[in-house]
Amino acid sequence: MRCTRVFSVAEHDASGITSCVLDARGRIAVAANRSGALLLYDTVSGAVKHSVVVSNVEISALSFSDDSRHLLAGCISGVSVVLDAVTGRVLRMLDANASGITHVYFEKATGQSKSKSIEDMRAVTVCGRQARTWDLRDATGDGFAVCRRNVDFIADGASGSRGGAGEAAVAAASRCIFRNSGTAGHAFVAHSGLTLYDPLLGVAMYDERDYVTHPGNSVLFRQGTSVVMGGPHRHHLIMFSPPGDSVTLLADETDGVTSIDFSSDGKLLVSGNHLGFLSIWDTLHHQLVFKWPAHKKSAITCVKFSHDSKCVYSCGEDTQVILWNTWTFKEVGRLAGHRAPVASVDMSHSGLRMVSGDQAGVIAVWCITTFRPLVVLDQLHHGAVLCVSISPDGSHFISSGEDEGIHIMACDTGARVACLDECVDGVAYSAKFSFDGTRAMVGSEAGAILIWSVEQDCLLYDIK
């Protein structure tokens, strides 16, 4: 095997290639990147024919039509688009699957022997939860395709799913996290065994044999679904393995995870990486729910869920602290005021107050109603702040810094309540309030764990 052509990527497009595909004639090569852009190359000359931005998030799946005239691209947001492969123009929007797209492909519309135009085809988009079949005829003229069939592999309790679900699957339905749970006409086809679904015929086959090693425990099912070719006419079939029988590695993060946190109910996990992306994971079904650029071109230093799990808040080297809605993934608010990378952030249980500390030693207490600072302390630490934690009721916060200082402060006034410098040898890398706010815990570089009583203003334990 030898290399016949090397395609160059412009510097502004060099955000990491996530998917690529070659058309059936070998004349067009397409590469997709993390920024949601498609690069269409002429394989003869190696030149870029078109550069098309179809999303602001990563493109995860690509497929050409049989005649190479159309291109189908799916994103980790669940949205897919159909493009004219010759002109690069977006023809249809497919909005949207319940989670990130894992596979996409075209199929002929019923009764069509050949696909002469986009109206003669249907598109199938697959994610780890469902398969959707789209009618590409643009009857309304708005460019949005109509979903003709929706089959859920994981039941959605909110939409009244029906079909061959057992009691365990129905019970699990109420715990699912579907972004399009209001969509009518869902059919539920999965159960505890291996499922083989044919989107063309709309039928499902089940394998309920007792395996010593379940076939789902394979890299094929790392995203819950796998698309294969089968049948006498060699058309696409979708295999699904339940999460409990498949690989549980959350393997999409390849950019260096810097911070993670669980939601209060344990159903969601948020992770932040070196490139400034946040990812929300469904831990019940081991799937990526959504991934988006939160701090562009800046590493995320800390990310956490709010106590009610309705928001996540993140801080980064771009000096910003941002709150995000965990259902819409839209920005709720931004805390702007730091002039150095923010190292740590924490929110009270009520969600009304936050505290943040940066690498210049500045600590700010914020009102989340107005997104303005209540107290700013720029002389508390001489050097970078390493950790901050706010009490559950939002009355106090504790901070530690590179200057080996450890302080418990009043959030309303910024007055010092206690100084723990003499109690700990060296730098304290971690500090945290107990759930009732009566105690503060500190972990030092010397390996000691200190527990301080806030109520009695005294040292309770020094564990070495």
Higher pLDDT, 442 or 142: 442
Summarised one tens digit per residue, pLDDT across range 86-99 is: 898 999 999 888 88
325-359 residue pLDDT tens: 988 888 999 998 899 999 999 999 999 999 999 99
Model pLDDT, residue 360: 94
Task: Report the largest interatomic distance among the alpha carbons of the chain, rounded to a whole angstrom.
Answer: 82
- DSSP string for residues in 315-381: EETTS-EEEEETTT--EEEEE---SS-EEEEEE-TTSSEEEEEETTS-EEEEETTTTEEEEEESSS-
What does the alpha-carbon distance between residue 416 and residue 434 come to, in Å, rounded to a whole number? 19
Contact 133, 199 (CB under 8 A): yes
User: Per the structure block, which two tokens stand in for 235?
Assistant: 């058309």
Residue 115 pLDDT: 57
Q: Could you tell me which of 303, 298, 249 has the C-alpha nearest to residue 280?
A: 303
| In contact, 178 and 158? CB cutoff 8 Å | yes
Residue 300 confidence (pLDDT): 94
pLDDT digits (tens, 9 = 90+) for 218-246: 656 666 777 887 766 677 888 887 665 54
Give the chain's end-to-end CA distance (angstroms, integer): 60
Average pLDDT over residues 439-464: 88
Q: Which pLDDT tens digit goes with each residue over 361-393?
A: 999 999 999 999 999 999 899 999 999 999 999
Distance CA 195, CA 439 (A): 52
Q: Hey, what are 17's tokens?
A: 């290639």
- Cβ neighbors of 230 (< 8 A, separation 6 or more) are 237
Name residue, tokens 């940066």: 358
Q: Provide the sign of the torsion angle of the four alpha carbons 107, 109, 111, 117, taken in this order.
A: negative
Q: Does 275 score more than 80 pLDDT?
A: yes
Mean pLDDT, the chain, whole residue set? 81
Mean pLDDT over residues 447-452, rounded? Answer: 88
Q: Find where tokens 């071109």 sit.
A: 297
- CB-based contacts of 86: which residues, under 8 Å, 6+ apart? 69
Helix (H, G, I), strand (E, B) or coil at 221: helix
Task: Report whether 20 contacts 63 (CB < 8 A).
Answer: no
pLDDT of residue 228: 80
Specify the higher pLDDT residue, 286 or 264.
264
Walk across the sheet containing 287-293 and list its strands: 257-262, 268-273, 277-282, 287-293
Domains of the chain, with CATH numbers? 11-245 (2.40.128.630), 257-463 (2.130.10.10)
Phi then psi dihedrals of residue 244, to 5 deg: -65, -20
Give the three-class secondary structure for 95.
Answer: coil
51 close to 58: Cβ distance less than 8 angstroms? no
The distance from CA 422 to its chain's CA centroid, rounded to whole angstroms, is 43
pLDDT digits (tens, 9 = 90+) for 103-139: 999 988 765 555 567 888 889 999 887 888 898 886 5
CA dist 315 and 324 (Å) reads: 11
Please give the angle made by the CA atoms of 20, 23 and 25, to the nearest 5 degrees: 150
Rounded Cα distance between 359 and 132, Å, is: 48
